[in-house]
Amino acid sequence: MLFWLNFLSLRCMVESNRKILRELEVAFDKIDKKILALVQKDATLPVADVARRVGLSTTPCWRRIQKMEEDGVIRRRVAVLDAQKVNAGVNVFVAIRASEHSDAWLRELSGVIEQFPEVVEFYRMSGEVDYMLRVVVPSIAAYDDFYRRLIGKITLTDVSSSFAMEQIKYTTALPLDYLELS
């Protein structure tokens, strides 16, 4: 009898924990997906326009957007600038190999990278390259200046730079095909 009581108690705990985990998950439906698609393309759309396009009235649509912001699904709203018009039209992909792989060294590298507004993306990688940067500058000479300042602040084992010749595709919109709907 004691075995069954313990079993039932354990089963109740597991079910309770599953329920809590489900509540913590962000649930999306088809309307949320449509809202996300619209605001990814144009975050300046008035809520009334978004609501009309997804088949809601303004207040429920606004509540959904607010909830997605609170849940961190919508992290921020930004303006996408024309790189050529702001004199930052040269994209450089920088592969970095490091001789040290400690958490402290990564924090040091991250702190150094934060000092450079030219670095618009920074990734820790798998494979032969340890870190990858996307750097935007006006010219190769400006990149050389960036490179010299970077290596003056931190020791890197190997740095390999590739200059983009042409931008074929660029988007800030994430694919929503993989979004699990409730």
CATH number for the domain that contains residue 154: 3.30.70.920
- Model pTM score: 0.80
List the structure tokens of 31.
Answer: 């309307």
User: Is 154 contained in some domain?
Assistant: yes
3-state secondary structure of 63: helix
- Phi, psi for residue 68 in degrees, rounded to 5: -65, -30
Last residue of one domain, picked from the residues 12, 36, 70: 70
Looking at the chain, the whole-number percentage of residues with pLDDT higher than 70 is 86
pLDDT tens digit sequence for 31-77: 999 999 999 999 999 999 999 999 999 999 999 999 999 999 999 99
User: Is 7 contained in some domain?
Assistant: yes
In the prediction, which pLDDT does 182 show? 85
User: Is 61 contained in some domain?
Assistant: yes
How many structural domains does the chain have? 2
Residue 118: CB atoms within 10 A of its CB come to 20
Paired strand residues for 96:
131, 159
* 131-137 sheet: strands from edge to edge: 119-124, 131-137, 90-97, 158-163
CA dist list (Å): 57 to 47, 64, 68, 74, 96: 9, 11, 17, 20, 50
Contact 89, 83 (CB under 8 A): yes
User: Is 80 contained in some domain?
Assistant: no
User: Is 170 contained in some domain?
Assistant: no
- Domain containing 105 equals 90-163
User: Is 136 contained in some domain?
Assistant: yes
User: Is 177 contained in some domain?
Assistant: no
Q: Tell me, what CATH number does 62's domain have? A: 1.10.10.10
pLDDT tens digit sequence for 123-155: 999 999 999 999 999 999 999 999 999 999 999
